[in-house]
Amino acid sequence: MSLLKIYNTLAREKQPFTPIEPGKVRMYVCGMTVYDYCHIGHARVMVVFDLVQRWLRASGYDVTYVRNITDIDDKIIKRAAENGESISQLTQRFIDAMDEDATALGVQKPDQEPRATAYVPQMLGLIEALERNGLAYRSDDGDVNFAVRHFAGYGKLSGKSLDDLRAGERVDVNAGKHDPLDFVLWKASKATEPDEVKWQSKWGSGRPGWHIECSAMSCELLGEHFDIHGGGADLQFPHHENEIAQSEGATGKTFVNYWMHNGFVRVDNEKMSKSLGNFFTIREVLAKFDAEVVRFFILRAHYRSQLNYSDAHLDDARNALTRMYTALKDVTPDGLPLDMAEAHAVRFAEAMNDDFNTPLAVAVLFELTNEVNKTKSPVLARQLAGLAGIVGLLQRTPQQFLHAGLADDGDLETFVLEQIAARADAKKARNFAEADRIRAVLLEKGIVLEDKPGGLTEWRKA
């Protein structure tokens, strides 16, 4: 099998993957801030790094995968106040919703899913270490800030120099800071904030800044130096840049070896935003499309590319996935283990080892689909189902997929079966116009009929 290469944002090139500890991988991914329902951009992060951890495990690595939950944040405090509910009530409600969305999309649970509020002591420890190292100071307003210009390596992930960074763009402007580029590590409490977001520290009552949360959780659960850190491209600067500065400034060690960032999601070739009215939650998308179709839509694009969301692209993904399931409908896999030495599997592995090149891997799945259709080979059906299973696809029976969303509707299923029987009677009576009319009526309802040898008729969603 070819060796895994990963595009390392820090190095700006693909690099052979060599774990710190042979055979083991420690990976951290920035998770969701839980004050609202997850959107399609969050879906991409969850599915992409689910894919990464699945392939690492399939490649024989012992993986520890950590994806955090940010359950304390300005937006969370504001939303809870607007709703008249506690912080914990708000965050638990949206954590539950996030878990439901992730499960629907076939996203496996991370090994650890730390909540920021449970790691405040570790955050305080890091801030104290930064203060000792001359990288943190308390400002007149009571906040504790990171002194960016005192950390020599700042900008190495984003490629931004300090002179190029302008205050007011993507950094806070605060009169209490020594430099407008400095960022907050510890926020002094405000009298208007609820008690549940106030922790005691040597600097008085307060709460952590966003950036220090991920440094503390990752270092506590994976060690001060670990293999892979991932997240969306929007986090590269300033969040991940600040994580590096904090972590390396506190420990004096290299923080992470490989940085991975998935591309943005666009909607009909425009940036997704609430102001443009093209903002979709996962729940809204799943109300229109099967969850596996959404997962397949995300996976068939390379994780570093921009992903253009549209109903037309989801329809195309549904048709493509339907072709794969249809190929398996009449051919039962032989039940033997997946053969990774088989030619299609070798090409699939080569694609996945080339920086998780899912477009090429999916192309191999379609080659297998065509071969299964032609040969009806149980061996190739096994390879198709097995390789797709590695990336979380084709894990239902063909009937479960092809009838998804319809089979649970007893009235509709009964209607379909009655119409199929009426069509069979019409064909026996050589009333082909009536048979065609019935087919057309069902097609209008999203039902496709497929006539099989021996007079059998099967149906599926269009």
Write down the pLDDT at residue 168.
42
Question: For the ranges 179-183, 276-280, 292-296, which has the lowest average pLDDT?
Answer: 276-280
Above 90 in pLDDT, residue 197? yes
Q: What percent of the chain has pLDDT over 90?
A: 78
Which pLDDT does position 274 carry in this prediction?
72
CB atoms within 10 A of CB 313: 15
- Model confidence band, residue 459 (pLDDT cutoffs 50, 70, 90): confident
**pLDDT exceeds 80 at position 102:** yes
Report in angstroms the alpha-carbon separations of 346 from 349, 367, 372, 397: 5, 13, 18, 25
5-262: CATH topology is: Rossmann fold (3.40.50)
**Residue 220 assigned ligand-binding role:** no
267-402 to CATH, choices 3.30.300.30, 1.20.120.640, 3.40.50.720, 3.30.1330.80:
1.20.120.640
Cα gap 260→355, rounded to integer Å: 10
pLDDT surpasses 90 at 252: yes
Domain boundaries, the chain: 5-262, 267-402, 410-461
Q: Residue 268 — pLDDT band, cuts 50, 70, 90?
A: confident
Q: Vertex 44, ends 43 and 45: CA angle to 5°? A: 95
Q: In this model, does residue 169 exceed pLDDT 90?
A: no
Contacts (Cβ under 8 Å, ≥6 apart) of 107: 46, 47, 50, 392
pTM of structure: 0.89
| pLDDT digits 0-9 by tens, 410-458 | 566 777 877 887 787 777 788 877 778 888 778 777 788 888 776 778 7
Handedness of CA 230, 234, 237, 238 (dihedral sign): negative
30 is in an annotated binding site: yes
Is the per-residue pLDDT at 178 higher than 80?
yes
Element (H, E) at 451: strand 447-451
Q: Taking 50 as the threshold, does the pLDDT of residue 167 lie above it? A: no
Q: Cβ of 391: how many Cβ atoms within 10 Å?
A: 24
269 vs 191 pLDDT, higher one: 191
Phi, psi of 4 (to 5 degrees): -70, 130
8-state DSSP, 170: S
Paired tokens of 336? 């033997």
E strands, 339-408, in order = none
Measured distance CA(62)–CA(257) in Å, rounded: 17
Decide if pLDDT at 30 tops 50. Answer: yes
**For 198-217, how does the pLDDT look when each residue is reduced to its tens digit (9 = 90+)?**
999 999 999 999 999 999 99
Q: Are 178 and 143 in contact (CB under 8 A)?
A: no
HSE toward the beta carbon, residue 379, CA cutoff 13 A: 7
Is-contact 402 321, C-beta < 8 A? Answer: no
Torsion of CA 236, 239, 241, 243, to 10 degrees: -130
Give the pLDDT confidence score for residue 175 in this predicted structure.
63
Q: Do the annotations mark residue 202 as ligand-binding?
A: no
pLDDT in tens, 107-141: 999 999 999 999 999 999 999 999 999 999 999 99
